[in-house]
Amino acid sequence: MPRINTTGELETFRQEILSQRDVDKPCITLCSGSACHATGSNKVSTAIEQEIVAQDVTADVSFRRTGCHGFCEQGPIVVIYPQGICYLKVQPDDIAEIISETIKENKVVERLVYVDPNSGEKTTLEEDIPFYKNQERLILGSNLKIDPKNLEDYLAIGGYQALVKSLFEMTPEQIVDEVKEAKLRGRGGAGFPSGVKWDFARKAPGDQKYVVVNCDEGDPGAYMDRSVMEGNPFAVLEGLMIGAYAIGANEGYVYVRQEYPLAVQNLEIAIKKAEEYGFLGENILGSGFNFIVKVHRGAGAFICGEETSLLNSLEGKPGEPNARPPFPAIKGLWGKPTNINNVETWANIPLVINKGAKAFSSIGTDGSKGTKIFSLVGKVNNTGLVEVPMGATLRDIIFKIGGGVPGGKQFKAVQTGGPSGGCLPENLLDTKVDFDELNKAGAMMGSGGMIVMDEDTCLVDIARYFLEFLSDESCGKCTPCREGIRQMLKILTNMTKGLGQKGDVDLLLELAETTKGSSMCALGKTAPNPVLSTLKHFRDEYDAHINHQRCPSLACKELIDFYIEPEKCKGCGACFRKCPADAITGEKKQVHVIDQDKCTKCRGCAEVCPAAFDAVRILSGEPVPTVATEG
Amino acid sequence: MDIGKIDQIIDNYGGESGSLIQILLDIQSDNNWLPKEALDRVSEKLAVPMSRIQHITTFYKTFSLTPKGRHEIHICMGTACHVRGAQDILATVEEVTGVGPGETDPDLQFSVETVSCLGCCALGPVIVVDGEYHGNVVQAETAEVINKLKLVETAETLEKLKSAESPEVVNLCACQ
């Protein structure tokens, strides 16, 4: 493809692409995001390619591998257009039937469609599945329409129109004003107004400026940025180019975790294609604007998601934070003014420019505009990525889209905001997803992790889990963070082992206050949040651990015992065979007994005991009854 | 590790000291770990003191200063995996391989690592064995996957010993 030199050439080329595409021609799309990769999408892809040839339909159908569709629990996902028929958990063996039935005969393969886990009702079309129906996919939606390795697909859905508008119809000031007026807030966690941040960098003195994409998505339980980067890197790059033009930068960096190999790969391809077509490089589309982008892989450090640490890492140094001010907008990469935004923020920019600030800000609440992507995971039926307008309630997300908690278990809490966030109980489920509302409730928006917990999850253990994570990830540069987290972790670990003491909670609160108030960067400042929010909403669980050495959720290993109820045990031997520690004794058809000294509490016996007998009980805070054995 | 290969990696980045982390990442992914000779070479070519290289290689999790096993097992410990029982999966991996997180067995068969989040949260608990993702794993399946590798390893070792026709083989056979 020759380089596109003017906007006229771009439009001609776009029309040429569109004229070659027949919207009515059947198209098989296969999700090839990381989760679907894990469930075998590569094998399905090979099967589709082979079967298209074998059934001689090469001319009648096209095939596209796309980025993440979002419904990751049900992968690999195949959607057939133009109808939008959605097949879930597709295996290579299913492909022959899909082609012979759906492509050739226009019939639905019933066994592959979505079945509601609660009602048993079947849904054929993607748009009708409750998981999708209740979302508003302004950002993720394009993932389904394009092959992330194909720039022409991006042009076919209107790609680079926002760039053209920015370069030829707007001044840098107007762009910044538009982003300000749209009230777009940073999607990385803190929710700082993006337009204001851009304005700082634009007004900062200096000829050399930089723009940076933060794709160091380290929050455990969150993978929105990964899916956007894997599924539509073009949109992120387009946003970045617009930002660069607005603040006056000619060089950009994308910092992406090396744990995301597919994101790195797709991004590198997207950059290469953009360079070939002339969207990157010198004199872009004849506008006189020059811009290049480089990719920098992160080497595995959570702290690098913090902007000053990330910039240090970009310079080839250890990712340790600097005190702010000076903010990166004034003194960033190599001491130059730098604007750094999260992947999702950048991906929103083309939308803001195309739709205009007014239309963009018509979605959402007063303080939070647009949509937000969440990774809805944990103990919820429909796990995956969901995109909702700001202002949707947690209840709607978890129950309407997520389908509630599986296995008839009781909902206990939802954790938002990653290790900096908090856990909210059932009575706060009507809280709206909005930067300020979530903060008020004691959690935070964060980057978008939303982990659902049921009655089996111990909240003291969750607080311990996050502190263990943070203690490991604290860079150690400042003492309050390094030591504060470590001491809080010690107390919580003791609690989960039944070694909690009276006064522990007060000590936790004191440590939390110091860590929060005097740490250098956001990692330490927000580290106590998981402890504070669980203490606020689940104080009874702490009391049970400290005062009665009891774990109400029966989760803390050191506080539980496994016991076979003699009157229920039928001596089937299932637990005896399962036990890896030879802790269970008993003859066939006789009552089995667990040797508490040998038991490793692996839960194997409880899992295999037939539901009809239900003889294995988990005890906590009470002695194990002694069972009279022979002899 | 071949010095020529290291030089080539350094040259790919134009010998810029700012690319230190990227260069080390490439060496790590090529060689699986960072031998001292490689670090010496990087230090010399980029004119970066060894103290800084040490700081970098011990700061970032990806780098390993000891050889890794032939099979790498990563267990995701992210929140979504945690609430779905990642701890039990880790216990199983430790039991079957005999090594804990960050360790490699003396025969260099297995290296076990825990990861904060692999970003496959919808499929938790997740383990990655030799680059292959296994989602929604239970303890039994985890043990099965690793035991299979063990069997292959044992068969290969026997095969090697046999083909070498070394005295050990005679001893081995005599024992049996």
CATH number at residue A402: 3.10.20.600
Could you report the per-residue pLDDT of A474-499, keeping only the tens digit for each? 999 999 999 999 999 999 999 999 99
CA–CA separation, A91 vs A95, rounded Å? 7
Residue type at A174?
Q
The tokens describing A168, both together, are 């030829």
| pLDDT confidence of residue A118 | 80
Residue A173 has pLDDT above 70, yes or no: yes
B4's enclosing H/E stretch is helix B3-12
- B19 phi/psi in degrees, rounded to 5: -90, 15
| pLDDT confidence of residue B165 | 55
In a domain, A366, yes or no: no
Percent of chain A topping pLDDT 70: 99
Minimum CA–CA partner of B134 in chain A: A38
| pLDDT confidence of residue B151 | 87
In a domain, A233, yes or no: yes
**For range A8-17, the mean pLDDT:** 97
Nearest Cα of chain A lies from the Cα of B81 at a distance, in angstroms, of 7
**Residue A220: which of A525, A529, A397, A447 has the closest Cα?**
A447
Q: Residue A102 in contact with residue A109, Cβ under 8 Å?
A: yes
Residue whose structure tokens are 């596109």: A4
| pLDDT confidence of residue A387 | 97
Lowest mean pLDDT among A272-286, A401-415, B38-52, B130-144: B130-144
A316 and A218 in a common domain: yes
Q: Residue A31 in contact with residue A64, Cβ under 8 Å?
A: no
Name the residue among A315, A375, A600 with its Cβ closest to that of B121: A375
**For range A258-281, the mean pLDDT:** 95
Rounded to 10 deg, the angle between the A529-537 and A459-473 helix axes is 170
Percent of chain A topping pLDDT 90: 91
**For range A275-294, the mean pLDDT:** 97
Residue type at B17?
S
A88 and A221 in a common domain: no
Using the 8-state DSSP alphabet, how is residue A23 labeled? Answer: T
Q: Which residues of B touch A72 (CB under 8 A)?
A: 120-123
Q: Residue B119 in contact with residue B79, Cβ under 8 Å?
A: no
Look at B61 and A300 and tell me if their CB atoms are within 8 Å.
yes
Q: Are strands A449-454 and A411-416 parallel, antiparallel or unpaired?
A: antiparallel
| pLDDT confidence of residue B4 | 93
Look at A377 and B61 and tell me if their CB atoms are within 8 Å.
no
| pLDDT confidence of residue A580 | 85
CA–CA separation, A419 vs A502, rounded Å? 26
- Interface membership of B131 toward A (CB under 8 Å): no
A356 and A378 in a common domain: no
| pLDDT confidence of residue B160 | 77
Minimum CA–CA partner of A263 in chain B: B119
Q: Which residues of B touch A219 (CB under 8 A)?
A: 117
CA–CA separation, A331 vs B51, rounded Å? 26
Look at B59 and A475 and tell me if their CB atoms are within 8 Å.
yes
Buried b (16+ CB within 10 A) or exposed e, A8-33: eebeebbeeeeeeeeeeebbbbbbbb
Using the Cα atoms of residue A392, residue A397, residue A398 and residue A400 in order, give the sign of their dihedral: positive
Non-local (6+) Cβ contacts of A596 within 8 A are A561, A583, A624
Residues of the domain holding A349: 145-360
- Interface membership of B169 toward A (CB under 8 Å): no
| pLDDT confidence of residue A627 | 75
| pLDDT confidence of residue A117 | 83
Look at B59 and A378 and tell me if their CB atoms are within 8 Å.
no
Sheet with A85-87, strands from edge to edge, namely A62-66, A27-31, A78-81, A85-87
A520 and A413 in a common domain: no
**For range A357-373, the mean pLDDT:** 96
In a domain, A46, yes or no: yes
**Residue A457: which of A562, A553, A557 has the closest Cα?**
A553
Residue A629 has pLDDT above 80, yes or no: no
Cα-to-chain-centroid distance, residue A472: 21
| pLDDT confidence of residue A1 | 65
**For range A150-164, the mean pLDDT:** 97
Minimum CA–CA partner of B87 in chain A: A602
The CATH number of residue A563's host domain is: 3.30.70.20
Which residues share a beta bridge with A293? A252
pTM above 0.90, yes or no: yes
CA–CA separation, B6 vs B68, rounded Å? 19
Nearest Cα of chain A lies from the Cα of B121 at a distance, in angstroms, of 6
Residues of A (48-107) whose Cβ lies below 8 Å from B: 72-73
Residue predicted with more confidence, A189 or A356: A356
Which of A31, A39, A497 has the most B C-beta neighbours within 10 Å, making it the best mutation to test the interface with B? A39
The CATH 3.40.30.10 domain(s) of chain B lie at: 71-171
Rounded to 10 deg, the angle between the A343-355 and A224-231 helix axes is 60
A271 and A342 in a common domain: yes
The number of beta carbons lying within 10 Å of the beta carbon of residue A265 is 14
Non-local (6+) Cβ contacts of A236 within 8 A are A213, A228, A229, A254, A267, A343, A346, A347
Could you report the per-residue pLDDT of A578-603, keeping only the tens digit for each? 898 899 999 999 999 999 999 999 88
The full DSSP string for A416-427 is: ESGGGSEEEEGG
Non-local (6+) Cβ contacts of A335 within 8 A are none
In a domain, A12, yes or no: no
Q: Residue A172 in contact with residue A57, Cβ under 8 Å?
A: no
Lowest mean pLDDT among A238-247, A441-450, B42-51: A441-450
Decide: residue A90, CB within 10 A, 0-12 exposed, 13-18 middle, 19+ buried: buried
- Interface membership of B21 toward A (CB under 8 Å): yes
Residue A394 has pLDDT above 50, yes or no: yes
Last residue of one domain, picked from the residues A83, A98, A129: A129
| pLDDT confidence of residue A68 | 94
Q: Which residues of B touch A221 (CB under 8 A)?
A: 78-80, 117, 121
| pLDDT confidence of residue A141 | 94
The count of CB pairs under 8 A between chains A and B is 140
**Residue A342: which of A447, A486, A462 has the closest Cα?**
A447
In a domain, A413, yes or no: yes
Look at A465 and B18 and tell me if their CB atoms are within 8 Å.
no
Q: In this structure, what is the dihedral angle of CA atoms B28, B29, B33, B34, given to the nearest 10 degrees?
A: -20
Could you report the per-residue pLDDT of A43-53, keeping only the tens digit for each? 999 999 999 99
The CATH number of residue A100's host domain is: 3.40.30.10
| pLDDT confidence of residue A628 | 64
Into how many domains does chain A fold?
5
pLDDT band for B173, please (50, 70, 90 cuts).
Answer: very low
A350 and A274 in a common domain: yes
| pLDDT confidence of residue B164 | 66
The tokens describing A245, both together, are 């033009």
**For range A605-626, the mean pLDDT:** 93
| pLDDT confidence of residue B170 | 42
pLDDT band for B157, please (50, 70, 90 cuts).
Answer: confident
| pLDDT confidence of residue A432 | 96
| pLDDT confidence of residue A603 | 87
CA–CA separation, A358 vs B57, rounded Å? 48
pLDDT band for B117, please (50, 70, 90 cuts).
Answer: confident
Looking at beta carbons, which pairs linking A164-172 to residues 24 or more positions away fall under 8 Å?
A164/A7, A164/A10, A164/A285, A165/A353, A165/A354, A166/A242, A166/A245, A166/A246, A166/A353, A167/A245, A167/A284, A167/A285, A167/A287, A167/A289, A168/A7, A168/A285, A168/A287, A170/A353, A172/A202, A172/A245, A172/A246, A172/A247, A172/A248
CA–CA separation, B65 vs B84, rounded Å? 32
Residue ranges of alpha helices (H) inside A380-528 are 394-395, 435-441, 459-473, 479-496, 504-518, 522-526
Looking at beta carbons, which pairs linking B98-107 to residues 24 or more positions away fall under 8 Å?
B101/B75, B104/B66, B104/B67, B104/B68, B104/B69, B105/B69
| pLDDT confidence of residue A57 | 95
Last residue of one domain, picked from the residues A360, A385, A405: A360
Last residue of one domain, picked from the residues A75, A100, A129: A129
A332 and A204 in a common domain: yes
Minimum CA–CA partner of B78 in chain A: A220
In a domain, A86, yes or no: yes
Residue ranges of alpha helices (H) inside A232-342 are 233-247, 261-277, 307-314
**For range B110-132, the mean pLDDT:** 89
- Interface membership of B80 toward A (CB under 8 Å): yes
Look at A220 and B80 and tell me if their CB atoms are within 8 Å.
yes
A466 and A448 in a common domain: no
For Cα atoms A598, A604, A609, give the angle at the middle one, nearest 5 degrees: 115
Q: Residue B93 in contact with residue B138, Cβ under 8 Å?
A: no
Superfamily of domain B71-171: Glutaredoxin (3.40.30.10)
ipTM of the complex: 0.88
A488 and A412 in a common domain: no
Non-local (6+) Cβ contacts of A342 within 8 A are A186, A187, A188, A189, A213, A214, A215, A225, A447
CA–CA separation, A460 vs A568, rounded Å? 32
| pLDDT confidence of residue A347 | 98
- Interface membership of A374 toward B (CB under 8 Å): no
Q: Phi/psi zone of residue B32: left (φ > 0), alpha (ψ -120 to 50 degrees), beta? A: left
Could you report the per-residue pLDDT of A366-377, keeping only the tens digit for each? 999 999 999 999
pLDDT band for A154, please (50, 70, 90 cuts).
Answer: very high
Non-local (6+) Cβ contacts of A295 within 8 A are A253, A254, A256, A264, A267, A268, A271
Residue predicted with more confidence, B118 or A315: A315
| Integer Rg of chain B from CA | 20
A205 and A346 in a common domain: yes
Nearest Cα of chain B lies from the Cα of A177 at a distance, in angstroms, of 35
In a domain, A205, yes or no: yes
Residue A502 has pLDDT above 70, yes or no: yes
Using the Cα atoms of residue B137, residue B140, residue B141 and residue B143 in order, give the sign of their dihedral: positive
Could you report the per-residue pLDDT of A555-571, keeping only the tens digit for each? 999 999 999 999 999 99
Name the residue among A72, A223, A316 with its Cβ closest to that of B20: A316
CA–CA separation, B92 vs A210, rounded Å? 47
A376 and A505 in a common domain: no
Which residues share a beta bridge with A414? A424, A452
A491 and A422 in a common domain: no
Decide: residue A424, CB within 10 A, 0-12 exposed, 13-18 middle, 19+ buried: buried
